[in-house]
Amino acid sequence: MGASGSFNNLHFSNVPAGTLLTNSETASGSAFWLHKLSRLDWGGLTYRFDRITFNPSGGETRVHSFYAINTLSLSSRVTLTGFVGPQYSDNEGLAPGAEVPTQSKNWSVAGGAEGAWRNQRTGVSAGYSRSTSDGGGILGAVRLQNVHGTFRREFVTGWAVALTGVHGTNRSLTVPSTASANSINLTTVGISLDHNVAKSLGLRVGYTHDFQKQFGMSATGQTGAAPTVDAHRNRVFVTLSYQWAKPLGM
């Protein structure tokens, strides 16, 4: 069994006048239990809690996720992982661009699958997932489906660089206003530097560029006037994570 936690802050600066972007903070914690089913197969259960807050609107989304997970080692270098389970989200407050508070509660099925290859210093992975996310500062809480790929190379012990690519579809969980989109397609490419600060503490800094297509609004914020709005965005991020694990029965 084990547990982990993380905190992410999304903050926009130099936002053009009339642009609807909302800062967000995401605090996450999870606990898991794994059991060896066979020499090459592990299965278990995971619970994850996410608290997403939006500023300055004051909106908040709380997400409870319950997953069954399985990891199969096809060889010493190749693994396949899958997870699936119910997810409950509680959304309240002002969605980005909204004028009156909204409240909604949603049950859905979340899950995903990933394949990975790695050797001593190099790793490659790709997969698909479906879950609740922060909406990137535009939609508030969303139902996110994405496909992703990562190439990671450790060049010095404790230091690694990663190249990533993601394509996702985001659909709002709250009722959008006439000045905001109701769904977004987003393609992201980026680079990050990872450092093991301590045994259980990790630091990640990086840069990403987003190619974004919005649906349900026009450039003037009037729905129906135009089907899509395209945008590009540069982002710099810093993530500090802590992970703890303890064998069952000890």
pTM (global) more than 0.85: no
Name the domain count of the chain. 1
Q: Which residue has the higher pLDDT, 200 or 78?
A: 78
pLDDT band with cut points at 50, 70 and 90 for residue 219: very low
Mean of pLDDT values over 170-184: 67
Cα three-residue angle 240-211-137, rounded to 5 degrees: 50
pLDDT band with cut points at 50, 70 and 90 for residue 240: confident
CATH for 61 = 2.40.160.40
Residue 245 to residue 241: CA distance in whole angstroms = 14
Q: Around Cβ 2, how many Cβ atoms within 10 Å?
A: 16
Domain of residue 102 covers 2-14+22-245
Residue 176 lies in a domain: yes
Residue 116 to residue 229: CA distance in whole angstroms = 35
Residue 136 lies in a domain: yes
Mean of pLDDT values over 215-231: 55
pLDDT at 187 over 80: yes
pLDDT at 245 over 70: no
pLDDT per residue as tens digits for the range 116-151: 999 989 999 999 999 888 776 667 778 889 999 999
Residue 250 lies in a domain: no
Residue 140 lies in a domain: yes
Which of 175, 177, 168 has its CA nearest to residue 131?
Answer: 168
